Structure 1
Amino acid sequence: MDESRGTDKSLADETYRTLLDEILSTKLAGGSVVQERRLADRLGVSRSPMRDALGRLEGQGLLVRNAKGVLTVRIITLADYLSSMAMRLLIEPSAAAQACEHIDDARIADLQAMLDAIAADPDPDPAFVWSFDHALHQGVGEASGNPFLADTIVQMRRYTTIFERQRKLAQRKPGLSDHQSILEALKARNAEAARAAMTLHLEQARQNVLASY
């Protein structure tokens, strides 16, 4: 591979990850106009990797064109949230059950340590709480052994995460007991318990959102 092409790809990947994180954290809020040149200047990259990163995000549905054809950050509606959560309820309990067979003890221990740190901290950093949530749900997807299922979980969680964060619906310590039940089932390699714990966790998250309306 040409060295310059490799550098461009690396920059595009880094730019994509940065923008994805800003969208998921709602630093780039829904409805915001995406100005390629301004973003490129802010991140200190040329317009080529920026254009590549924006194209990927648009392809994933996180950036959309408004009626005037202007690129904007997608606004995640309640309908989007509920549809995404319905998909998660269909597949994540099965992923959790399958993960019992494949997830390694070290990953479970890391997740438990993160959850213990959140529980012990009277005012945990929200970024760390979200990092744990991401690590748990993505870890379950990856450990399911089904890459298509894992990818769908990642995609659906993006919509639910953005919605919850843009409306500031997450609690300081959301779902501690739910998450602990999931980890206990994974530790015990109890597939049916993991399935039930994940179902309960997602359903309670859905109900909490509906209760806020």
Structure 2
Amino acid sequence: MLDDNQDPPETSLAEEAYRALLAEIVSARLAGGTVIQQRRLATEHSVSRSPMRHAISRLEGEGLLVRTGKGLLAVRVVTLKEYLDSLAMRMLLEPSAAYQACGNINADALAALSEELDAIDRARDPDPEDVWHFDDGLHLTIARQCGNGFMEATIADMRRYTTIFERQAKSVRSKPGVAEHRAILDALAAAEPEGTRQAMVRHLEMVREGVLRNY
């Protein structure tokens, strides 16, 4: 018998399959335009077709999988316009989120993020996965701690699109925005809401300029 707080096995497997596929899409291991083959993916992830079907359906509902002209299901190709539109939404929301999160992020979390950034800065050629891990950690921590669940969810959704585009276009700098990220962390540590907001504005503007310059 299942514990009252325990998910049914099929539900847990579907959630695991969803998270695994989402990670592959966001990281561009499943590149835009890749046709989805349910049976192959189920075999690769060692699950039955039922939980994989649920995971695929969920990703289609979120717009990350789309139907092609031939009716096949494929990974969405994020266009430059979609990228810029998503980034524009982030530029509207994230500075406010940074302002509101200031003072809500504990010192240990900020210290851990600072150590990650230091390691990236010291490395001659940092591992791109370490760079993405830090970037996700900083931006999503700010979103979680802004105190607005709708803002948090929208920022996370928009970051999916911008991350997919950047990773597929390989437009990320080897040490992306170290100085910009340091300014955000310093302002958070000093509990300066307006300084944090301004630092986030500068960072996102630099991201936009960098992608347009290198596209």
Task: Please confirm whether the aligned pair reaches a TM-score higher than 0.5, indicating the same fold.
Answer: yes
Which residue in 1 is equivalent to 2:154? 152
Q: How does 1:1-150 map to 2 (within 5 A)?
A: 6-150=8-152
Shift of 1:5: 6.4
Distance in 1 (alpha carbons) for counterparts of 2:47 and 2:60: 19
Distance in 1 (alpha carbons) for counterparts of 2:152 and 2:108: 19
* SS of alignment partner, residue 76 of structure 1: coil
User: Identity rate of aligned residues, in percent?
Assistant: 54
Shift of 1:69: 1.8
AA paired with 2:14? A
Distance in 1 (alpha carbons) for counterparts of 2:36 and 2:195: 44
Q: Deviations over 1:141-188 (max 9, x none)?
A: 001011110111100000000101101000111000000000000001
Of the structure 1 ranges 70-79 and 57-66, higher mean CA displacement relative to structure 2 is found in 57-66
Q: How does 1:122-201 map to 2 (within 5 A)?
A: 122-201=124-203
Distance 1:5 1:88, change over 3 A: closer
Of the structure 1 ranges 95-104 and 134-143, higher mean CA displacement relative to structure 2 is found in 95-104
* SS of alignment partner, residue 72 of structure 1: strand
Distance 1:85 1:51, change over 3 A: same
Distance in 2 (alpha carbons) for counterparts of 1:28 and 1:22: 5
AA paired with 1:63? L
Distance 1:46 1:126, change over 3 A: same
Distance in 1 (alpha carbons) for counterparts of 2:146 and 2:89: 16
Distance in 1 (alpha carbons) for counterparts of 2:106 and 2:147: 12
Distance in 1 (alpha carbons) for counterparts of 2:184 and 2:169: 26
Segments of 5+ residues of structure 2 without an aligned counterpart are none
AA paired with 2:158? M
Q: Name the Cα RMSD after superposition.
A: 1.4
Distance in 2 (alpha carbons) for counterparts of 1:101 and 1:112: 16
Shift of 1:2: 5.1
